[in-house]
């Protein structure tokens, strides 16, 4: 059974015209960054009627009471209600904030809309290591990249010209961290000379993140800048 979990309650005066009372969601889905903020919004005609309005924001989550995990992180923007906007602000996002949310407005009759939140974490902090030093002429070299993120990424290796290394020379594995992130490690074993450069590329359906390694006596690491995106239940009463 899906329950609308109440997590916040406030009171204010707001009236709408009943005959035109409908709810629209601003976006059917939201993506936001881990540890960042997000604002979920539904819209309604504020009108000038005399029927009191009740606003409820909720997380649809079967069989779990999540009020405690959202405590201090959710807030209804009351100043936006007079503009016909019910905005739920959620701060310091966590991976398990992903899910289905419902905006329900009651004014004698009831109307509601739902939206989906996806919290994600970019593989922006890639640790790149040369595990086996180079030699002249070309010899066997072992390279490794390690990063955390969400959702699960694929890892490709390329040379300085962007040519993909054969999959037979690559071993990639992953595990789940206590924070709900994927820890993805990839290792490439190849024949290379000093001065050659290679990159590991972490790929999800939203972005690519890469780190470059120059095979010298010391490691040269360059992590390219990336973008990252990344909610809970809330209830408010107006009458």
pTM more than 0.75: no
- pLDDT on residue 118: 93
In the chain, what are the domain boundaries?
15-121+229-236, 127-223
Q: Could you write out the DSSP letters of every residue in 44-70?
A: ----S-SEE-EEEEEEE-TT---HHHH
Q: pLDDT at residue 224 above 60?
A: no
Angstrom distance (rounded) from CA 190 to CA 18 = 71
Categorise residue 35: left if φ over 0, alpha if ψ from -120 to 50, beta otherwise: left
- The CATH architecture that domain 15-121+229-236 belongs to is Sandwich (2.60)
Confidence of residue 79 (pLDDT cuts 50, 70, 90): confident
Lowest mean pLDDT among 3-17, 165-179, 197-211, 224-238: 224-238
Give the model's pLDDT for residue 138: 65
Q: Which of 153-157, 176-180, 218-222 has the highest mean pLDDT?
A: 153-157
Other Cβ atoms closer than 10 A to 16:
23
For the CA atoms of 223, 227, 233, 237, the dihedral, rounded to the nearest 10 degrees, stands at: 140
CA angle 124, 213, 195 (to 5 degrees): 165
> What CATH architecture applies to the domain 127-223?
Sandwich (2.60)
Mean pLDDT for 19-39 is 89
Rounded to whole angstroms, the Cα distance separating 237 from 205 reads 39
- Check if 15-121+229-236 and 127-223 are the same fold: yes
Residues 6+ apart with CB under 8 A from 175: 182, 183
Confirm if 61 and 2 have CB atoms less than 8 A apart: yes
Tens of pLDDT, residues 124-138: 899 998 886 666 566
Residue 238 has pLDDT above 50, yes or no: no
Q: How far apart are CA 94 and CA 139, in angstroms?
A: 45
pLDDT given at position 202: 96
């Amino acid at each position: 059974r899906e329950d609308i979990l109440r997590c916040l309650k406030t009171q204010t005066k707001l009236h709408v015209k009943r005959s035109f009372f409908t709810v629209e969601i601003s976006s059917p889905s939201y993506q936001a960054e881990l540890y960042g903020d997000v604002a979920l919004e539904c819209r309604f005609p504020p009108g000038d009627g005399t029927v009191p309005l009740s606003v409820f924001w909720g997380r649809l989550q079967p069989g779990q009471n999540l009020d405690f995990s959202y405590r201090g992180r959710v807030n209804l923007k009351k100043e936006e209600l007079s503009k016909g906007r019910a905005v739920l602000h959620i701060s310091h996002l966590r991976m398990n904030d992903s899910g289905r949310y419902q905006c329900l407005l009651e004014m004698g009759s009831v109307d509601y809309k739902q939206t989906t939140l996806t919290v994600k974490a970019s593989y922006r902090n890639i640790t790149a290591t040369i595990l086996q030093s180079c030699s002249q002429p070309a010899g066997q070299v072992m390279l490794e990249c390690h990063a955390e993120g969400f959702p699960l990424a694929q890892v490709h290796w390329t040379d300085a010209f962007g040519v993909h290394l054969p999959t037979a020379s690559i071993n990639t594995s992953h595990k789940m961290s206590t924070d709900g992130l994927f820890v993805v490690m990839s290792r490439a074993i190849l024949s290379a000379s000093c001065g050659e450069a290679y990159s590991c590329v972490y790929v999800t359906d939203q972005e690519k993140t890469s780190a470059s390694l120059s095979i010298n006596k010391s490691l040269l690491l360059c992590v390219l800048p990336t973008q990252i995106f990344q909610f809970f239940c809330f209830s408010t009463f107006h009458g």
